[in-house]
Amino acid sequence: MALMAKSIKRKGIKGEGTWGYIFIAVSLVVFAMFTAYPVVSAFIISLQKYKPLGSTYVGLDNYASTLKDALFWKAMKNTLVYTVLTVPVNLILSMAIAVLILPLRKKTQSFFKGIYYLPVVASGVALSVVWLWIFDPLEGGILNQLIHFFGFQNQNWLGSSKTAMFSLVFMSWMSSHGTSIIIYLAGLLGIDDTYYEAAEMDGANFLQKLWYIVVPSLKPATLFLLVTGVIGSFQVFQNAYLMTGGGPNNSTTMVGLLIFNSAFTYFEFGKAAAQSLILAVIIAGVSVIQFKYAGKDVEY
């Protein structure tokens, strides 16, 4: 009887495992078609001087030429600067806005969440058109009208290498908080009120409660947003392409835009594939470092 029970139990486990694979089959097929296959194809293309007909195998030449390309390293520097200036500031602003929204009534919270989330669902092209109007170098530009009020002269925000990168960073500061605010609000609603009550009994003020209760409690959300934010900023393409085209003098050329130009402007598909895989390795390395050092005491 004991042997029969063990046999039935094993068969049951095996059957459950089969059903599990059946349930995830669709996801596995989608992953294989749209993630695994493109990555393998990109690696194969990166080893070739790719042409639609008659590609030539060149080994690691595309990787070598990329690593020797001064423009690639300039684009990498621009991307790193953009990441350092946008991701931390966006996290701080998103957390601050979420803290300000939290005490409001539910309907008012929903209103502000909708307002801040609107740029996420809006067309990137439409948003860029609005920001091009804001950064208009003529007197009619909104930003130039604002600085006129303080006695400053017109600035060619997107046409000068001194201000072009700042313009893209400022655009990110003003329009990249919707998802982060929603996630931070969810984390804030999950904090038990007894923590605040205990802190008030000990005489803690608002800033002390914020630093010793809110910030530690939101560490899992912060780590998630930090990792995804860095990945997104390393892959930034749309803003640079639509706002500046990488100029002036390649001062806003990001790695994503460089890969696009290599593939669809110069038709160097093998080099573009090599650049994309190098970028993927860099992003993976940065993500591992973030989890190692920023996720030490994070509990999920």
Cα 172 from chain centroid?
11
- Closest alpha carbon to 282 in 72, 139, 58: 72
Q: What is the pTM of this model?
A: 0.88
SS3 54: coil
Identify the bridge partners of residue 3 per DSSP, sorted by sequence position: none
Q: 241 and 260 in contact (C-beta within 8 Å)?
A: yes
| CA 35 – CA 48 distance, rounded (Å) | 21
Across the chain, how many H-helices and E-strands are there?
Answer: 17, 2
As a whole number of angstroms, the distance between CA 93 and CA 23 comes to 40
**pLDDT string in tens for the chain (300-residue length):** 454 445 544 554 455 678 888 888 999 999 999 999 999 999 999 999 987 777 889 999 999 999 999 999 999 999 999 999 999 999 999 999 999 999 999 899 999 998 999 888 888 888 888 999 999 988 888 999 998 888 888 889 999 999 999 999 999 998 888 899 999 999 999 999 899 999 999 899 999 999 999 999 999 999 999 999 999 999 999 889 999 999 899 999 999 999 999 999 999 999 999 999 999 999 999 999 998 888 777 665
Contacts (Cβ under 8 Å, ≥6 apart) of 81: 165
Compute the distance between CA of residue 59 and CA of residue 44 in angstroms, rounded to an integer: 10
Q: Is 236 exposed, middle or buried (0-12, 13-18, 19+ CB in 10 A)?
A: buried
Place of tokens 């655009």: 171
Which residues are within 8 A (CB) of 218 and not within 5 positions of it... i.e. 6 or more apart? 95, 184, 187, 188
Tokens, residue 291: 């989890």
Do 178 and 116 form a contact (C-beta atoms < 8 A)? yes
- C-alpha dihedral, 195 to 196 to 202 to 206, nearest 10°: 140
Query: What letter does residue 247 receive in the DSSP assignment?
Result: -
Q: Are the C-beta atoms of 234 and 255 separated by less than 8 Å?
A: yes
Q: For residues 187 and 298, give the distance between their C-alpha atoms in angstroms, rounded to a whole number.
A: 14
Give the span between the Cα atoms of 161 and 72, in whole angstroms.
Answer: 18
